[in-house]
Structure 1
Amino acid sequence: MNLNRDTFLPKAEATLAELDGAVLEAISHHGGPGVESLAQVFKDGVSRSPAQLAEALCPGPLTDIGFAAVVMRGLLEPRDEVLDSPVSEATVITGNARASGSLNITSPFVVLGNLEVEGVLEDCGPDSTVVVVGNCVARGLRTSGNFLVLGDLVVRDVIQGIYNDDSLVVAGDLSVRFLDENDHDVSCYGEVHAEHHFENGRSGEEAASLASVFLLPGLYDVDLGEIHHDQIFEHLERNEPVFAETPQPRQRREPDRPTAEELEGIDVAGTVARSPVSATPRDVVYAQRKTGEVWLLRPGVFRVHIYDGEKFLGTEPSPALEATKASERVTFWRKRGDLFLEIERFDAIVQVHAGYNNGTKTTLRFAFDGPDAAAREVRRLEARYEGDFLRVTTGIPGRGPLERELARYGGKSEYTSAIVKGTTLVTRDGESQRFDDEASALRALEDWLAEKRRAGFELKILEWKPYGLLK
């Protein structure tokens, strides 16, 4: 049945006069409803199908499409439907809708009855707008778009809000085990029944810490301050558990700065006083009690300065580095403070880069009597930092691929970078090469680095890419 001005607008007038209570409040969440706004859809006098009407009102505030959905419910004959594919074009179902698995929505979608999804329900704002006039039931809900439920919203396990552009609005009651609003607008005009409720604006660090009590290990990272929502919903789609059977001890992220225990026995005041830069005890970002080593760093003011327990390194002239291809390389990462340490050997010279993610670094070079002595120094440094730092190759546990970024300054800044993930070498120069194994890819990376060194590039920073290969 098509909708036309002569039947739709009078019905809208009558419906508006009857709207009250929580339904009116929910429809008015983005502004008060009015017949004039709906009349604009029919200003050319042409009839519209229900789907065309929904498409004409979206994207936009929930007010008009929500009001139009209630009007359509009074005009259209209910017809139930089973959904067995994603909703990729504007759709209006006049009765109840049911999906036996998960349901992905990328276009305006209106259900004039109830919506039941046995798996995960996910929309895609701003392309999607979802309106359910009745009740909505699902195993999990991920919403980044405008989503309006004029009945009750019942989600068995998890609701995740994504982005702060749109809203999840419920006129009835909202029931779920874990509600993570994140920065999304979630508004319920009934009662909220949530065993775990993280409200809008929650910090990542606090959320991950609280989640460690009830989520299964691996679905959060306290050090990074992240809840791994992608993995949570992958579990839900496979109908696998995401909640611990019993509450677990709460985990808290260790502070970036050294703890009192790590500083015990270290003469911090004396070390700071001997520093080549004007530093304070608050600039201590790493300390090693067994050796007395201290790192001083104040981002934006000075780079890392390393006191090895006896002296500050780098005060003597550095040997020239003639080779461009490293004989060996060891990379360490410390989650606390995002510090990294990369140790390279170029025959009889050991080069050490120390810095922090997406920031500055310090480079130190030391000459030895021969390659064997230099190799022994690399082993010594490995043993010194093992345990305090994570040893990484091409990936940082819980973070993603490790990128080596280089810079050259010659009148104009120039940057390039490369990473290896699996058996693929990808560079920001547009190069992508696959190899038979990771070892071959790593050898190709060494060749690439050597070529860039010959061209005058030097390591700028080390950083991690949590979202995959370079684009």
Structure 2
Amino acid sequence: MSLSQNEFLPRAEAVHARLEGAVLDALSHHGEPSVPELAGAFRDTRMEPAQLAEALCPGPLSPIGFAALVMRELLTPEDAVLEGTVSEARVITGNARVAGSLRVTAPLVVLGDLEVAGVLEDCGPDSTVVVVGRCAAWGLQTSGNFLVLGDLVVRDAIQGIYNDDSLVVAGDLTTRFLDENDHDVTCYGEVHAEHQLENGRSGEDAASLASTFLRPELWNLDLGEIHHDVLFERIQKGEPVFTDTLQPRQVREPDEPTAEELEGLDIEGIAAQASKNARASDVVYAQRKTGEVWLLRPGSLPLHIFDGKEFLGQGTPPALDVKQRASERVTFWRRRGDLFLEIERFGAVVQLHAGYNNGSMRTFRFAFETPDGASREMRRLEARYEGDFLRVTSVVPGRGPLERELANYGGPKAEYTSAIVDGTTLVTRDDERQDFDDEASALSALEDWIAGKRQAGFDLKILEWKPFGLLGSR
């Protein structure tokens, strides 16, 4: 079934004259419908419907939506069953059904109803979806231009992605959870959503609000994220994503110390002792029961740790034989403020690294008379920070792999390397992968790797809880 320009354009004039109400409003969301604009899309006197759709996309919704109404009056309705993916421009002249998920990566125009028994996902800007009738799905993830001139009914959740394109509905929009994110979502009918996160919401607010109705594994307050990919995977599998009843709203604790944590501490006096440049506002961690205070100003003030009696690192640090492997290691991570603390023992020497995620770090070193004395100090430090900090091995809970980056500044050019333990595999930036039977063996191999790098002149530069692809990109 092809379209004749001589027949199409007069019919477009007639359709244009009848446009009114919510349908006209929806078509005009990206600009008023225009017959000359449709005429300019005809490269030949006759075109296939899919060719016309492709000629009008990508672009604003007004021309392709207007063209869909005209095509509906000219083309004989034929229903279709779609499967999996629409990767080439397509026009369905009747109703379309999908028994499962549908991923759209090219223009798709349905002149009747579209029913998806699964998750419907488009991929803007390559995809443009127009449904002249009613559109129904279990879930909808939309990053492209998506126009529904009837009602949009999504059983579980709608997620808008990116702010480049729009989801426009002329009829009513009904869903249980609508997350506009930073996407333009406009409905000219009524919106019926149990839970709605409006355009411009922050990640932290979204996760906090989601904690009242989504299952706990689908949101993370520390990261300020809703795990949308997992959410829609579960929707597709028919697994539950909502709590049975509304839950109390969870709120992320502030990064900075609270008034309760600072109560009774002479912050001004401690800051004055630390440095003439230090300010009370530089406090990033405080423990009232011990009097411990950390002062840090990123980019200008090195980390100062006041342990309740004195500042650490005041004297000359003891020598350390870097050729030996650490006798033991304990790593702590504080979710608030992304602070970390790594404690190593080398015989009778304890070395303490403290800093914040992918930022500045300072190292302190203490010598004891015997290895047993150093071991007791390790236990004391563990007890001191347990509770305020999370004890971690290879992964910071809810965040990602723990990556150690080491640096060698001794040569003519600074050198860097890093390593993570991924399950039972040791992975390094030097393109090394070693598989082991269990995580403990992988962690033991990590100790050997660190010792080898230190012998080569490297030392710990920073810890990161989220590698940001550093290992994979080298």
TM-score range, shorter chain: over 0.9
SS in 2 for 1:330: strand
> Which residue number corresponds to residue 29 of structure 1?
29
Corresponding residue number in structure 2 for 1:5: 5
- Measured in 2, the distance between the counterparts of 1:186 and 1:95 equals 26
Deviation of residue 88 (structure 1)? 2.5
Aligned residue number for residue 268 of structure 1: 267
Any idea what SS the aligned residue of 1:319 has?
A: coil
Tell me the equivalent position of 1:459: 460
Counterpart AA for 2:445:
A
Identity %: 72
Report what 1:258 is aligned to.
257
Q: Is the 8 A contact 1:426 1:470 kept in 2?
A: no
Aligned partner of 1:245 in structure 2 is 244
Q: Is the 8 A contact 2:6 2:45 kept in 1?
A: no
- The whole-number CA distance in structure 2 between the counterparts of 1:455 and 1:48 is 69
Task: Supply the distance in 1 between the matched residues of 2:95 and 2:350 (Cα, whole angstroms).
Answer: 70
Q: Which residue of 2 aligns with 1:65?
A: 64
Is 2:451 the counterpart of 1:450?
yes
Contact persistence 2:278–2:301 (CA under 8 A): no
- Aligned position for 1:377: 377
**Retained in 2: the 8 A contact 1:70–1:112?**
yes
For 2:406 and 2:4, the matched residues in 1 are separated by 63
Alignment of 1:295-334 (within 5 A): 295-324=294-323, 325-334=325-334
How do 1:91-240 and structure 2 match up within 5 A?
Answer: 91-240=90-239
1-structure distance, mates of 2:434, 2:134 = 51
| Alpha-carbon distance, 1:52 to partner | 2.6
Where do 5+ consecutive residues of structure 2 fail to align?
Answer: none
| Structure-2 separation of matches of 1:379 and 1:52 | 72
> What letter matches 1:261 in structure 2?
E
Query: What's the offset of the Cα at 1:4?
Result: 3.7
Q: Does the Cα contact within 8 Å between 1:400 and 1:467 map onto a contact in 2? A: no
Letter in 2 for 1:452: K
Task: Give the Cα–Cα distance (whole angstroms) in 2 for the partners of residues 318 and 437 of structure 1.
Answer: 36
Number of corresponding residues: 470
Alpha-carbon distance in 1 for matches of 2:148, 2:368: 71
Corresponding letter in the other structure for 2:386: E
- The alpha carbon displacement at 1:66 in A equals 1.8
Offset of residue 202 of structure 1: 0.7
Structure 2 residue aligned with 1:389: 389
**1:171-208 superposed Cα distances (whole Å, 9 cap, x missing partner):** 11111121111111111122212222111111122222
- Contact residue 322 and residue 454 of structure 2 kept, 8 A: no
Match of 1:15 in 2: 15
Relative to structure 2, which stretch is displaced further, 24-33 or 179-188? 24-33
Contact 2:84/2:100 (<8 A) preserved:
no
1:399, 1:466 within 8 Å by CA — same for their partners in 2?
no
TM-score computed with the length of structure 2 as normaliser = 0.93
Q: Which residue number in structure 2 is paired with residue 42 of structure 1?
A: 42
Deviations 1:336-364 (A, max 9, x none): 11111111223332221111112111111
Further displaced range: 153-162 or 226-235:
226-235
Q: Per-residue deviation at 1:277?
A: 4.8
CA contact (8 A) 1:154 1:174 kept: yes
2:55 partner letter? A
Specify whether residues 67 and 406 from structure 1 end up closer, same or farther in structure 2 by C-alpha distance, changes over 3 A only: farther
Are 1:303 and 1:355, in contact at CA under 8 Å, matched by a contact in 2?
A: no
Q: Deviations over 1:42-72 (max 9, x none)?
A: 22x2643222322232222222222222222
Give the superposition deviation at 1:292. Answer: 1.0
Label 1:173 to 1:355 Cα distance change in 2 as closer, same or farther (>3 A).
same
Distance in 2 between the 1:33 and 1:429 partners? 58
